Structure 1
């Protein structure tokens, strides 16, 4: 089996079950871990789940002991649909935490229906001090509901490995126009403002240059803010659910190195075509080859 990855490797795209793949990656190697898992929308999905995870202290079921077990039990008894979803997601989050560098940041991109559950459990699992932000990505595209407020946002939960020593560089983030430019000085208008924790950003346009045809593709602008703020040039970025490869494309454009993991043949084909078109230097690895 080929070597999956070391810090001396080039950027890589690894095909396989992400839980099995990341178990072979070294502790503390990534400055950003971004997870955009399948949303638990009630549709039938085929997933492999497991209850064992690796950590520095061995196989564990949570880092906060009884408090975590109680909270998880309460939530699972409250909503049985959540139990299956969290059994899938929980061991992947534990691996993500292991893989984060001491100054690293976890970004968990979720549907609004799961964000409140995940926030409570992540607080219990990793500690409330590690919570940094709840980012709301707001957009205005698609069907408009007639019997409730139309739902036009995703949630991104942000947790840092070390609350006293994480990397965050607001000066590296692209600035955006003021919504009320008449209320600030011309100098500030020209400079723009830093994004807040509400990100107004369009989805990937069906006719735009970014479009790859992958159904859950995220816009480069969202990942660009994440990578700019929470990593430096040369740092490693990991994406468990690579999809169309947006994380890798953005990381490469910003001078970061990356590891992408996905099991889907469709994902691999889209990523190969995307990187071939952009000229990004990347190795494709299948562990079973």
Structure 2
């Protein structure tokens, strides 16, 4: 990639197709990778479902069509019936799978992947990640529950996202729950006053509001995730000075929280609107490199081609604790 990145580089925001950038990043460079890809919610998309199962060798050979998993196992790719799905991608998993393969390669031996999806694809993703990482590398299924928006009358309203957590090496992964912000007890009368004052560690179900449409945290980016969710992830699964990667960066919340917590980061997104928001979000943070690896564009259009979005983003006043200041590399 242009302007080659190494672990001694400053934190960086890259405007590019992530699959064109990821192969140029070095193996094992990131302690934490958080991914919030598109949720497969568009229109008229057809894909072929795939299931991966372990392939058993017969006389030292494997069935045709098998692939070698990252843990040395071999898996047979079995194509299921053609299913119709709603999304803008012709094949959602052909889109996501090569990016997850790169994520595995880029994780440090003590690293952790957080894949943020919703009910449409989370279960398919679990099967795919079991094949790519190995089932023994599955750490958690986190449920982010919220209560906002329309309520369905003909089914249970869907008010949660799923975050799948996989580690590179189940014997060496980094996790420190003592650094995580505690939360109030739901039944404080059942515990001692000392415990009430201290709060409890979060479980695998996280009750947290969405980004308020009128709150100070709002950047104007439509799929922005709350600071509180990213803060919990980054606190638990990285140390100060570690590198964090988000290659569906969106509004840049991962980088903003990583910076505020003393981590270093690489953010990648190909949407000009995302880059416009991130330029505003990090304009007061020194020492961050912005790289545009897309086609050449006029200099005065470098921050994106959406003036209305730039105006909205520039009006946002992010809390200093989130925007932060650059920490020396």
CA contact (8 A) 2:69 2:75 kept: no
Aligned counterpart, 1:192: 199
Matches of 1:2 and 1:41 in 2, distance apart?
33
1:5 is displaced (CA, Å) by: 1.0
- TM-score of the aligned structures, taking structure 2 as reference length: 0.78
Q: Does 1:30 align with 2:37?
A: no
The correspondence of residues 143-182 of structure 1 with structure 2, limited to 5 A, is 143-182=150-189
CA contact (8 A) 1:252 1:280 kept: no
The correspondence of residues 74-223 of structure 1 with structure 2, limited to 5 A, is 74=80, 77=81, 79-81=83-85, 84-223=91-230
Seen in structure 2, the aligned counterparts of structure 1 residues 61 and 251 have a Cα distance that, compared at 3 Å, is: farther
Aligned counterpart, 1:50: none
1:285 alignment partner, one of 278, 283, 291: 291
Seen in structure 2, the aligned counterparts of structure 1 residues 68 and 214 have a Cα distance that, compared at 3 Å, is: farther
Matches of 1:68 and 1:250 in 2, distance apart?
40
Matches of 1:62 and 1:80 in 2, distance apart?
29
Matches of 2:285 and 2:103 in 1, distance apart?
29
Matches of 1:136 and 1:100 in 2, distance apart?
23
Between 1:123-132 and 1:167-176, the stretch displaced more is: 123-132
Seen in structure 2, the aligned counterparts of structure 1 residues 157 and 149 have a Cα distance that, compared at 3 Å, is: same
Consecutive unaligned residues of structure 1, counting only runs of 5 or more, are 46-59
Aligned counterpart, 2:7: 7
How many aligned positions are there?
Answer: 270
Matches of 2:76 and 2:175 in 1, distance apart?
28
Indicate the structure whose relative CO is greater, using CA pairs within 8 Å and at least 6 residues apart: 1
RMSD: 1.9
Matches of 1:270 and 1:172 in 2, distance apart?
29
Seen in structure 2, the aligned counterparts of structure 1 residues 27 and 201 have a Cα distance that, compared at 3 Å, is: same
- TM-score of the aligned structures, taking structure 1 as reference length: 0.89
Seen in structure 2, the aligned counterparts of structure 1 residues 138 and 260 have a Cα distance that, compared at 3 Å, is: same
Between 1:117-126 and 1:142-151, the stretch displaced more is: 117-126
1:63 is displaced (CA, Å) by: 1.6
CA contact (8 A) 2:44 2:84 kept: no
Aligned counterpart, 2:21: 21
Question: Where in structure 1 do 4 or more consecutive aligned residues deviate above 2 Å?
Answer: 42-45, 64-68, 77-83, 278-281
Q: More strand per residue: 1 or 2?
A: 2
Q: Look up the SS of the partner of 1:41 in the other structure.
A: coil
1:42 is displaced (CA, Å) by: 3.6
Matches of 2:40 and 2:258 in 1, distance apart?
27
Aligned counterpart, 1:49: none
1:61 is displaced (CA, Å) by: 5.8
Over alpha carbons, which structure has the higher Rg? 2
Cα deviation, 1:64-119, whole Å, max 9, x if unaligned, reads 6653513xx24xx3635398110000000000000000000000000111011110
CA contact (8 A) 2:44 2:85 kept: no
Matches of 1:223 and 1:249 in 2, distance apart?
9
Consecutive unaligned residues of structure 2, counting only runs of 5 or more, are 46-65, 297-329
